[in-house]
Amino acid sequence: RQRYVEKDGKCNVQHGNVRETYRYLTDIFTTLVDLKWRFSLLIFILAYALTWLFFGLIWWVIAYSRGDLEHLGDGSWTPCVNNLNGFVSAFLFSIETETTIGYGHRVITDTCPEGIVLLLLQAILGSMVNAFMVGCMFVKISQPNKRAETLVFSSHAVVSLRDDRLCLMFRVGDLRDSHIVEASIRAKLIQSKQTQEGEFIPLDQTDLSVGFETGDDRLFLVSPLIISHEIDERSPFWDVSRGQLERDDFEIVVILEGMVEAT
C-alpha cells in the first residue's frame, strides 16, 4: 500500500497540471533552495560565469570604442584599463574586479569616466550575487534532512491500557548528544471521509491529541520518550473496534519540530 508520508518523512505528493508556474519565480530564493543539488550547483556556477563574461564583454567594448586596442604599446596613450589587450584580458580583469583579487597588472585609470561607473556597478552587483548565492548554498547545506536521520521513531504503535485508560502509544528518541531545543510533537490522522452532505474528502486531516491541553506535547528529548494519545470521547478512534482498526485504510503522521542546539 502506498503511503501518504514515507517512514523517512518524504511526502508522496506530486503537483501536476500547475498552470501558474510564474509563481515559482516570484520566490526565486526558495525555488533555488528546493532544487536538487546538481541543478543548484549548475546555477551557482552559471551565476558567476555569466556575470564575469557579461562585464568582461563590456570592458572589452569600452576599450575597443576608445581605441585602446589600436594603441597597444604606445606610451603616450592613456588607456581605460592598463594592460588590457583583448577579450581574454578583459575577462580576467572582470574576474579580478568582481572577486576583489586585484593582481595589480591590469588596473583602471582616472581618464575613463565610463570605466569608473562600470567599476562601481560591477562591485555592487558582485556583492549582491555573492550574498544571494552564498546565502542560498548555506541554507541548502543547513537543511534539517540529515539531522532527522538521528531521530528515531518506534517501528510500531500499540494500543494498550495505561493508568486504566486506553491509549495509542509510540516512542521517539534522539541519538545525538546535541539536543533539540523547544521540541514539540503533533499527530495527524489522514483518512478518507464523507460529510453529512455527501461530499467525499479523499485526504482529510484530523488532529490526534498528544498532550496539547496539558503541555505534554512540549518535549525534553534527552532520553527516549513514550508519546501517548488517549482514546476518549474526543478521539476519532473512540467508536472503532479492534477488527475495524485492522481493516480501515488510514495513516497516522507524526510531526516533530524543534531547533537544533548546535546550529
**For residue 183, is it within any domain?**
yes
Task: Report the first-to-last Cα separation within the chain, whole angstroms.
Answer: 37
Domain count along the chain: 2
Q: Output the average pLDDT for the chain.
A: 89
Would residue 10 count as lying in a domain?
no
Q: Flag whether 3 is in a domain.
A: no
Identify the domain boundary among 125, 142, 159. Answer: 142
Grid-cell match 525555488, residue found: 31
Q: How far apart are CA 101 and CA 174, in angstroms?
A: 45
pLDDT in tens, 16-34: 777 777 787 788 888 888 8
Question: Given 142, 161, 184, which residue is the final one in a domain?
Answer: 142
Asked if residue 45 and residue 105 are part of one domain, the reply reads yes
Do 247 and 187 reside in the same domain of the chain? yes
What are the CA-CA distances from residue 147 to residues 51, 219, 255 (Å)?
A: 35, 17, 14
User: What digits encode the pLDDT tens for the residues 199-228?
Assistant: 898 888 999 999 888 889 999 988 999 999
pLDDT by residue (tens digit) across 130-185? Answer: 999 999 988 888 777 777 888 899 988 999 999 999 999 999 999 888 888 889 99
Domain boundary among 109, 142, 175: 142
Q: What is the pLDDT of residue 184?
A: 94
Within this chain, do residues 36 and 92 fall inside the same structural domain, yes or no? yes
In tens, the pLDDT along 52-63 reads 999 999 999 999
235 & 191 share domain: yes
**pLDDT score of 249:** 87
- For residues 163 and 250, membership in a common domain is answered with yes
Contacts 24+ apart (CB under 8 A), 59-62: 59/84, 59/90, 59/93, 59/94, 59/115, 59/118, 60/84, 60/86, 60/87, 60/90, 60/91, 62/112, 62/114, 62/115, 62/118
39 shares its domain with 77: yes
Q: Is residue 13 part of a domain?
A: no
Give yes or no for a contact between 81 and 59, defined as CB atoms under 8 angstroms apart: yes
Q: Please indicate, yes or no, whether residues 67 and 124 belong to a single structural domain of this protein.
A: yes
Q: Does 16 fall in a domain?
A: no
Do 115 and 160 reside in the same domain of the chain?
Answer: no
Query: Are residue 157 and residue 186 in the same domain, yes or no?
Result: yes
36 and 121: one domain?
yes
Q: Which residue has the cell 541554507?
A: 139
CATH, residue 119: 1.10.287.70
Task: Tell me which residue range forms the domain holding 210.
Answer: 147-260
Q: Are residues 134 and 100 in the same domain?
A: yes
Please indicate, yes or no, if residue 8 is contained in any of the structural domains: no
Q: Quick check: 104 and 95 in contact, CB under 8 A?
A: no
Pair 162, 245 in one domain: yes
Does some domain include residue 4? no
Question: What radius of gyration do the chain's Cα atoms show?
Answer: 30
